[in-house]
């Protein structure tokens, strides 16, 4: 149903990225610089202890983890996307509701289009820069690449649903900047962006793996580094798919609840 419309939204979002090329350049540069800082700290620590493997990561694997996690910031839209909340605030949502297409699927199509753009124009340059500077290896077999890419797609879907849930809060509060900030810091730490989850104390590892956050970043990044060869890939994909399912039910329910409550101003 309305498949053509969603495809059109997807394509438009993808093309919109091309308009803001200098913004992409900044994102790429930013992600590379922070990646280099993170890598420098980890290299220093590995050199200090003299262990070749720490918490299941070799030094090259931990650099690969850093590179791929910095590369995924763009497609995961980690710093938040408040487009939907803004449409609630501005009343634009009334126009969107008058269209026969689903708000939820339209939003998803746009997010995926944006993510596709970011994968091509920010993830690949970041990864290539790190590949040029360090000896990092991706998955060694084509099956490994397929598993990694499926995992990234699931991660993007988890991130989209999480962000959509946050946006829905706007039905109740008018402004979600505070919620957005809290979510930002939670994601920052618990997704494994600052430090891989494998370095966490056991209890914090257990706690975070029951949240959706590490399934957005840490586990897909581990699949890339090959560390996850000891951790089987299927359970990771299964857990990610479960999160997508749970969060999508939550989103639809939350959206229906919010729409019932919403009052459109003006006439």
**Interface positions with another protein (CB under 8 A):** 22-23, 25-26, 29-30, 33-34, 37, 40-41, 43-45, 47-49, 54-55, 178, 181-182, 184-185, 188-189, 194-195, 199-201, 204
Strand runs (DSSP E) across 84-213, as ranges? none
CA atoms within 13 A on the CB side of 173: 12
Q: Rounded CA gap, 148 and 219, in Å?
A: 9
Angle at 139 between CA 69 and CA 130, to 5 degrees: 45
**Residue 143 Cα to chain centre, angstroms:** 22
Select 6 or 65, whichever has its Cβ closest to another protein. 65
Residue 16: Cβ within 10 Å count: 13
Q: Are 159 and 78 in contact (CB under 8 A)?
A: yes
For residue 136, the minimal CB distance to another protein (Å) is 18
Beta bridge partners of 54: 57
Select 33 or 249, whichever has its Cβ closest to another protein. 33
Select 182 or 257, whichever has its Cβ closest to another protein. 182
For residue 53, the minimal CB distance to another protein (Å) is 12
Select 36 or 131, whichever has its Cβ closest to another protein. 36
Pairing label, strands 53-54, 57-58: antiparallel
Burial, 224: exposed, middle or buried (Cβ in 10 Å; 0-12, 13-18, 19+)? buried
For residue 67, the minimal CB distance to another protein (Å) is 16
For residue 259, the minimal CB distance to another protein (Å) is 27
Select 43 or 149, whichever has its Cβ closest to another protein. 43
For residue 181, the minimal CB distance to another protein (Å) is 5
């Amino acid at each position: 149903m309305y498949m053509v419309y969603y495809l059109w939204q997807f394509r438009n979002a993808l093309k919109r990225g091309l308009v803001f090329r200098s913004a992409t350049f900044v994102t790429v540069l930013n992600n590379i610089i922070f990646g280099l800082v993170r890598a420098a700290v980890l290299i220093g620590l590995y050199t200090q202890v003299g262990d070749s493997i720490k918490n299941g990561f070799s030094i090259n694997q931990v650099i690969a983890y850093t590179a791929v996690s910095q590369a995924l910031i763009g497609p995961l839209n980690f710093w938040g996307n408040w487009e939907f909340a803004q449409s609630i605030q501005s009343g634009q949502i009334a126009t969107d509701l008058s269209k026969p297409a689903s708000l939820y699927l339209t939003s998803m199509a746009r997010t995926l289009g944006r993510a596709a753009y970011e994968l091509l124009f920010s993830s690949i340059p970041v990864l290539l820069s790190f590949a040029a500077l360090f000896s990092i290896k991706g998955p060694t077999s084509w099956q490994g690449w397929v598993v990694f890419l499926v995992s990234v797609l699931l991660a993007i879907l988890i991130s989209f649903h999480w962000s959509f849930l946050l946006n829905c809060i706007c039905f109740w509060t008018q402004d979600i900047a505070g919620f957005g900030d809290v979510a930002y810091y939670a994601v920052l730490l618990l997704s494994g962006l600052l430090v891989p989850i494998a370095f966490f104390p056991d209890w914090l590892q257990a706690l975070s793996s029951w949240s959706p956050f590490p399934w957005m970043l840490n586990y897909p990044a581990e699949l890339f580094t090959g560390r996850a060869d000891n951790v089987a890939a299927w359970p990771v994909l299964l857990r990610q798919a479960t999160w997508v399912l749970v969060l999508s039910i939550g989103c639809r329910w939350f959206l229906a609840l919010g729409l019932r409550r919403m009052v459109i101003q003006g006439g």
